[in-house]
Chains A and B, each alone.
Chain A
Amino acid sequence: MVGELAGNYGNILLMFGFAVVAVGPALIISRMISPRKRSNPVKFLPMECGQVPKGEGRTHFMMQYYAYILMFVVFDVMAIFLYAWGGSILMLPKSATLPLIAFLGIMFAAMAFALYQSQRRNIW
């Protein structure tokens, strides 16, 4: 029984593997038939529209949107937890919905507070 379930999920991995095996040779064939001209000084530099690049490739970027990534880590998991309830709601008694409404309220309030904090640019 457990094996059957795992077998179905295994098909996803098989499909992944098939796609890799099917399209991987395209890169190898391309490497074999495409011309490989001799190098010149700018050929393998990062592309910057014809300018000679300066500084690091992995540049620094602003932290002002980092709050959203922190929020994602929390609320993604909470959203997935709701599926445990949503998938079985037809089998649950109606009284079981009230705690879930409370959970939704907590989730919504927490999200509103986090969004308010993420708007305060001076702390990021």
Chain B
Amino acid sequence: MEFELLACGGRQIMSVIAPTFRLSYFLKSILDNVFWIIVLVTLVGIPAIQIVLFYIEMPVINGELLTPFLALTWLADPSRAIPIVKAFMYTDFFRIAVFPGFGLAALVAAGTIFVERKMLAKLQLRVGPFYCGKVEGILQLAGDGLKLISKEIIIPAKADKPIFWIAPVAFVGTAAAFVSLIPVAPGWVVADVELGVLAVFAVIGFFPIVTVLSAWSANSKFPFIGGIRALHQMISFEIPLILSLLGVVMLAGTMSLTGIAESQEFIPWIVFLPVGAIVFFICILAELERIPFDLPEAESEIVAGWLTEFSGMMYGLVQLGTYLKLYAFAALFTVMFLGGWSGPMLWPPFPEEIITDGIQLGPITATIPGLPLLDQAMLNGVLWFLLKTVAVIFFILLPRGVFPRIRIDMLLSLGWYKLIGLSFINIFIALALLYAGVLGPGGII
């Protein structure tokens, strides 16, 4: 390149950018790409779509079984598109991928990261992200994502490579499995299981395993120390976490999360069991490794704890999993103690005249069948659920600007002595409420 520059004598600097550009080569490359795209689509893409559509169970709309042909033609007709969208919204895939599942959780996680940065900055008299995206640095997260995905992934030479690769993905997957148990609105839950509380504990039990495996596989000192700390911390706080929810299960008389949320339609359990709620909240902070319990990734002592050897997108995935986990724990607190989706009706009803008369724009009247897309009770439930969850997330973020980190022996004594004692007291409060005739069948309330 330098030789060429010298040969040109700096006369045609512009030609250095694309020294051998020819229009014919350019067109040929485009045609090549088009050729290969057509070949791949006809040989692989269309058969794949046909096979998938052949095995998917299609819904019946307007008394007619939906075929791929009808779906594609009806989607082009706005008056008949809504039934198809509705039918799609009640499939398992939509629940898992978009609404009560991964999409909603990822959206709340992104919002949490933004709010955490700005709020922490305000608490510490800083500005926070400011330049990226003109309004309050709102595109900072997208910028960080692009940065992480374009960074090189470096894996230590002596690491156990398969486990090290699997660990971040398994972490995100476990967090997503936890999200799948959370009911967002009546009937809107990915996995409505009968023993929901036990399923939650089962899923939570996988986090220490993933953490310790990733720490061990890195074969480095700081991750190993961080992983051992994380193991001790999660284990110490799992027993008070389990015991503090027992009071709610006793009063509600069911272990399904949907049933527990329905049982507090009028009064949330935090009114009767404040001790359990406080213990559970402290356990959430410890399980999420947030300040004041962030010993596993204490950045001023052991570089980044068990995240030290993660680089590039692996670190990004672990962070995504952490925030999914944060959303899931905040939502669990909402469901167990704050009443889930219950609340006064705030959402305005869908205007009746649009259903009966259609939308009138001048001379044109468009009647759209299938409206409303979502009923009022569900939207109101989601609104209340999200309001409560965001409030809990705010209280989870708040200690980060206020508290210092505590020592590990203080952490263990807090978990094993004080919190377990308090959660036993909580069980006896629940028993007393039941047997004094305040709550339960035939109770005053």
Contacts and interface: CB of A to CB of B under 8 A. Distances in A.
Contacts of A57: 156, 158, 218-221, 224
Interface stretch (B30-38, B112-120, B197-205): B197-205
- Which one of A10, A12, A115 has the highest number of Cβ atoms from chain B below 10 Å of its Cβ? A12
Contact of B235 (A9, A30, A31, A69): A69
A27 interface: yes
A71 B313 CA distance: 37
Contacts, number: 206
Contacts of A89: 250, 253, 434
B235 A48 contact: no
Interface residues of A, number: 63
Contacts of B156: 44-47, 57
- Which one of A34, A48, A91 has the highest number of Cβ atoms from chain B below 10 Å of its Cβ? A34
B224 A20 contact: no
Given A57-B221, A59-B224, A29 B149 contact: yes
For chain B, the bracket of interface size reads 35 or more
A26 B246 contact: no
B238 interface: yes
A83 B249 contact: yes
A83 B308 contact: no
A12 B253 CA distance: 23
15 contacts: A5-B193, A8-B194, A9-B191, A13-B177, A14-B92, A14-B180, A26-B313, A43-B154, A45-B156, A46-B158, A53-B221, A69-B235, A76-B242, A82-B427, A83-B255
Given A23-B169, A47-B309, 7 more contacts: A15-B176, A30-B149, A30-B313, A34-B312, A68-B235, A69-B231, A72-B235
Interface of A: 5, 8-20, 22-24, 26-27, 29-31, 33-37, 43-49, 53, 55, 57-59, 61, 65, 68-69, 71-72, 75-76, 79-80, 82-83, 86-91, 94, 97, 104, 108, 111, 115
